[in-house]
Structure 1
Amino acid sequence: MSRVGSGHQRNASGDFAACRQFFANGRPPVLAPQPTQRALCYDAFAILHSGASKTPVYVAEKLNRAAVADADEVRTNRFFADARLRPAERATLGDYKGSGFDRGHMAPAGNMPTAQAMAQSFSLANIVPQAPQHNQGAWRVSVEAATRKYAAKASGDVYVITGPVFLPSIDESQGIGPGNVRVPRYLFKLVYDEDRNRAWVHWHRNDNATRAAQPISYEELVRRTGIEFLPGVYPRG
């Protein structure tokens, strides 16, 4: 089952050597590598991208009081296909046109600390097809805004990993557009407070009817996805 500077780095493969600061202890999640997965570094986040789904596998950020206070950029809304990805492995603007789905950010535009980071957040590599009312409602308010609010009050760094979950598999998931960009059944956002060694996970059905829900534990996220998102870390719930 498939679950899930002067600009950003140009290398579209590798092991995040240029942007390990976005991962707790500098260690990215552990999962079986796939031929079309690419590691992408941006100014304010890192993405493991899947050419099979044409979406992120996950997107990693590091938030803290200073970062949230600095996140006051004007939203650009200029979506673009990331040229570092092979044409056959990336989403395009045409895939989302008339699809009925929003272009849902995994690393939110509202978290971006600079104009350049804001522009980079509109890469389609950072986007999944998301139910519009969910994107603009429960996800935006009870997940994204709540996470920013928490990080703004935290005593240290808060590591955040966000991504889609495709069930029963990527190939069996709905596709949109000429590129067949896959639609996830669920979205998750893992929040890890390093100072308190606490973690929790927002787990939402990608559906217009979805409302705010109690977070699940980190252990439950690992069980559901089969991915160790915080290798070497044993957080409390």
Structure 2
Amino acid sequence: MLLLLLLQISASCLWLGRSEVVTSFEHSCPQFFFKETPPNEALEPKNAARICQRYKNKYYFATLYDRDRRIPVYSAYLYQPGSGKRPKTWMVEPQLMDSVYPSSMAREWVLINYYNVTLEQISKSQAVLVDYKNLTGLNRGHLNPSGHHPDNSSRTATFTLTNIVPQNEKLNGGAWKNYEQQVMIKETQGCATTYVVVGAVPGNNYIAGGRVNKPSHLWSGVCCEMDSDKELKAWAVIAENDRNDVQFVSLGELEEALSQLYGRDQVSLFDRDCPRD
């Protein structure tokens, strides 16, 4: 018993962050959603997991994860860009295996060496690093990008495979990168608080021998509270995941497009007060 305790204490020194699989975003990490209102259930997959992504005892964003397709449906965060280095360490979510495991992001080798699990166990309900090796024309595409956060801790928290999809490399390094790094700066001028929900539409193709879905589209919706008089504005983008092109649309147009792509109920990404025009 003492040995197990010592091993757990040693392992805790190697954790890079903390995250929790929760039953409700509204009760656990509502601060990342405009008026504490997450997207409605029209985007929810059959085997969903809600993750409040926490690092060094602080929440940084929220992710709805598809355990079966092994990709995030969306990640929600506050846009607060700042200077800093790009992290290099990748983590996974232990609680996607089972709730008995720690509510902490961890590197794969930490789980394997200190919690007596196998890579096969980890990989059953989430992507692992080997899934993204030897890709052709694709790379690891952040939904919630590290550059939209102000410091090393918040940037590191985005480097979890629960926040990653197989993204067309030309799109990721071209038009999508331009939107993330240039257009967002321009569009958020005058915003006091900027809420972002960025997601991926499941596609018909897979990588890693059918384990990880390649999304057909990537999209992002933004709701901005202006500095003056709490005025609101919104915008959105959508991109096909095999073309280096990003289409700028209204929030309402994005929600309508997603409703058609998912073929279920009408999609709502934000509280109704966020303008759709």
TM-score tier by shorter-chain length is 0.7 to 0.9
CA contact (8 A) 1:187 1:203 kept: yes
Opposite residue 164 of structure 2, the aligned amino acid is: I
| Whole-angstrom CA distance in 1 between matches of 2:86 and 2:45 | 34
Amino acid paired to 2:19: Q
Query: What corresponds to 2:10 in structure 1?
Result: none
Partner residue, 1:45: 61
Give yes or no for the alignment of 1:154 onto 2:190.
Answer: yes
CA contact (8 A) 1:163 1:187 kept: yes
> Is 1:231 the counterpart of 2:242 in the alignment?
no
Q: Deviations over 1:28-86 (max 9, x none)?
A: 111155452111112321111111221111111112xxx32xx2221112222222322
Alignment partner of 2:31: what SS? helix
Matched, 1:25 2:35: yes
Greater relative CO, 1 or 2 (CA 8 Å, sep 6+)? 1
SS in structure 1 opposite 2:220?
Answer: strand
* Stretch deviating more after TM superposition (98-107 or 177-186): 177-186
Q: Residues 229 and 144 of structure 1: is their aligned pair in 2 closer, same or farther, counting only changes over 3 Å?
A: farther
Report the TM-score when normalising by structure 2: 0.72
Bigger Rg, structure 1 or 2: 2
1:108 aligns with 2:152: no
1:9 aligned residue (8, 19, 22): 19
Deviations 1:6-42 (A, max 9, x none): 94333x1311222111100011111155452111112
1:149, CA displacement in angstroms? Answer: 4.1
* 3-state SS of paired residue (2:22): coil
Query: Quick one: distance in 2 between partners of 1:160 and 1:200?
Result: 10
- Root-mean-square deviation (Å): 2.0
- Superposed structure 1 runs of 4+ greater than 4 Å apart: 32-35
1: CA distance between counterparts of 2:134 and 2:178? 25
- Which has the larger displacement, 181-190 or 113-122? 113-122
TM-score by length of 1: 0.84
Q: Counterparts of 1:210 and 1:49 in 2: how far apart (Å)?
A: 25
Q: Secondary structure at the match of 2:249?
A: coil
The share of aligned pairs that are identical, in percent, is 28
CA displacement at 1:179 relative to structure 2: 6.0
- Aligned counterparts, 1:1-237, within 5 A: 7-10=17-20, 12-16=21-25, 17-32=27-42, 33-42=44-53, 43-63=59-79, 67-68=80-81, 71-86=82-97, 87=122, 88-100=124-136, 101-151=138-188, 153-167=189-203, 173-178=204-209, 180-195=211-226, 196-207=231-242, 209-213=243-247, 215-226=248-259, 227-237=267-277
